[in-house]
Structure 1
Amino acid sequence: MMKQMASVMLFSVGLLLTVALTSNGCTKETEKPLRVGVTSGPHAQIMEVVAAEALKRGVRVKVVEFSDYVQPNAALADGSLDANSFQHLPYLEQQQKDRGYRFDVVGTTVTFPIAAYSSRHSSLDALPKGAVLAIPNDPTNGARALKLLEDAELLRLRKVQDANVTPLDVEWTRGEYQLRELDAAQLARALGDVDLAIINTNYALEAGLDPFKGLLRESPRSPYANIIAVRAGEAGRPDVKVLVETYHSPEVRAFIERTFKGALVASW
């Protein structure tokens, strides 16, 4: 009789603990994790820290890495992801216009000031006549790169909206420069084949380049803050809210500042 009563008591205690854990917001092991797509490099590094912190708040985050800028949005649209964190707002807006995606922005993350690098020349003044300048081939980052080159007086653009400029809008270059458009992820690998390359900071860091040693660098106050996106209508999900709150936590900000030392900056 005593053994039976002890068994009942142990079962009751276990049940109470289970209820308590569930009521405190802890995620059950059987529940699906929040799948968040990122590009490899800094976005992935930061999201791993976010995942560890989110787990303390009861939400499991599965970090899914991609090697380009195209697949994370495609995966979010087809339901393979629940959120992604890799792009700035102008890029997202262009993607939605071109591909018909319906996403909501739920928070900002970090800003990566874009920079110009060269393995051939030590200064912009050393660029020779006819130098090859490589820029990202996607519309928003390409326009961003052209604006950076114009600010450095290496070329002049027609007066159109910054977000819409292309190499066809170049009216003049300082030295009859040639513009070459390449996939953003390939620019660091192409450094030996061009005179200058405008490279997004996440790819520059992944390639071992020092953003502070670039020949030209965008202001950290640029409008290209990166964002977290979800499918339209899912911004109110409790796990999404925890994701954003965790990303904006003091622990994650401290990790960004300690790890990247100003190469990228928190944008919240």
Structure 2
Amino acid sequence: MFTSGLLRKTLIVAALAFSVSIVHAADAPLRVGASPGPFSDFLQEAAKLANAQGFPVKVIEFTEPTQINEATQSGDIDLNNFQHVPYMEKQNASRGYKIVSIKPSFVAPAGIYSVKHTSIQSFPQGAKIGIPNDPANEARALYLLQKAGLIKLKLNTGLNASVTDIAENPKKLKIVLLDEVQLPRVLTDIDAGVITLNKGVLAGLNPKDALLLEDKTSQWAIIWAARADRKDDPRIQRFIKIFESDSVKQFIISKFNGAVIPAW
């Protein structure tokens, strides 16, 4: 009798503790990871709306992109919004993460920028073109150069394309792999560079000055991503719904004069 009574009390205490943990989780601030710059600005705008509704959301900026997925995997943050699917897949494969894409949020187009030339057609033979040296954005840059008519990639080349997949290079472009952060700084030393919007804006570049930008068909849309076991957290769905409100959409469009394209 004593044992069963003690067991019953133990089970009741455990149930109460579990109930409290659920309430605490539901009331805890949603922690969203982002890179500094426009991506974070969009999230901060949505977080203001959420907090005004009594829904606590905290946007946490990381200067080093690889730290964002690390924090997502470790549980230090609940959600992130800074990367495209190819980058996420590379991180999962190389680091053993279990991070999944929930849905696209917006397209922040990469562009071809130059301070030496006013058009792509004016690129000379042997022009030096800088592109990001991380594999995911290397492929992205190559597809944009192909869209510009500067190169052709081998047939059936996927989203892991590298410079070795170039099948045709009629202008004999010298494609140089550089750290993405350095690309805006070396534009005076090269003919052109393929630069992502976030890094470009942080360096003072105007997307309107790009010789060519990606459009809404880009396969490199920025996504909402979370650890697989947290993707169904109702707080995440609530925040995404707030982000997809008309007011945040207009904020995104007006901030970049339509250069950044909402994906909903």
TM class, shorter-length: 0.7 to 0.9
Give the counterpart of 1:102 among 98, 101, 104. Answer: 98
Deviation of 1:106 (Å):
2.7
Query: Which whole-Å CA distance do the structure 2 matches of 1:57 and 1:225 have between them?
Result: 28
Query: Which whole-Å CA distance do the structure 2 matches of 1:188 and 1:67 have between them?
Result: 17
Give the counterpart of 1:191 among 187, 205, 217. Answer: 187
Tell me, yes or no, if the aligned pair for 1:104 and 1:229 is still in contact at 8 Å: yes
Give the counterpart of 1:230 among 226, 230, 236. Answer: 226
Give the counterpart letter for 2:90 in structure 1: Q
1:69 matched to 2:65: yes
In structure 2, the residue matched to 1:82 is 78
SS at match of 2:177: strand
In structure 2, the residue matched to 1:5 is none
Tell me, yes or no, if the aligned pair for 2:129 and 2:193 is still in contact at 8 Å: yes
- Counting matched residue pairs gives 240
Tell me, yes or no, if the aligned pair for 1:76 and 1:84 is still in contact at 8 Å: yes
Alpha-carbon displacement from aligned partner over 1:95-134 (angstroms, at most 9, x marks no partner): 2222221123233211012110011222223222322111
Check 1:193–1:75 CA distance in 2 against 1; reply closer, same or farther (3 A cut).
farther
Deviation of 1:171 (Å):
2.9
Aligned CA-pair RMSD: 1.9
Deviation of 1:185 (Å):
2.6
Query: Which whole-Å CA distance do the structure 2 matches of 1:105 and 1:65 have between them?
Result: 19
Alpha-carbon displacement from aligned partner over 1:123-162 (angstroms, at most 9, x marks no partner): 2232223221111112222111111112222122222323
Query: Which whole-Å CA distance do the structure 2 matches of 1:111 and 1:251 have between them?
Result: 18
Alpha-carbon displacement from aligned partner over 1:202-221 (angstroms, at most 9, x marks no partner): 22222222212211222222
In structure 2, the residue matched to 1:149 is 145
In structure 1, the residue matched to 2:55 is 59
Query: Which whole-Å CA distance do the structure 2 matches of 1:68 and 1:169 have between them?
Result: 29
Query: Which whole-Å CA distance do the structure 1 matches of 2:184 and 2:62 have between them?
Result: 17
Q: Which runs of 4+ in 1 moved over 6 A?
A: none
Query: Which whole-Å CA distance do the structure 2 matches of 1:149 and 1:62 have between them?
Result: 38
1:207 matched to 2:203: yes
Relative to structure 2, which stretch is displaced further, 100-109 or 146-155? 100-109
In structure 1, the residue matched to 2:158 is 162
Check 1:202–1:46 CA distance in 2 against 1; reply closer, same or farther (3 A cut).
same
Give the gaps of 5 or more residues in structure 1.
1-26
Give the counterpart letter for 2:154 in structure 1: R
Query: Which whole-Å CA distance do the structure 1 matches of 2:76 and 2:182 have between them?
Result: 25
Deviation of 1:32 (Å):
4.0
**What is the TM-score with the length of structure 2 in the denominator?**
0.84
Alpha-carbon displacement from aligned partner over 1:138-194 (angstroms, at most 9, x marks no partner): 222211111111222212222232302101112332322111112223221221222
In structure 2, the residue matched to 1:4 is none
Give the gaps of 5 or more residues in structure 2.
1-22
SS at match of 1:189: helix
**What is the TM-score with the length of structure 1 in the denominator?**
0.83
Q: What percentage of residue pairs aligned between the two structures are identical? A: 37
Give the counterpart letter for 1:175 in structure 2: K
SS at match of 2:231: coil
Alpha-carbon displacement from aligned partner over 1:62-98 (angstroms, at most 9, x marks no partner): 1111234322111211222111100112221222222
Query: Which whole-Å CA distance do the structure 2 matches of 1:122 and 1:250 have between them?
Result: 36
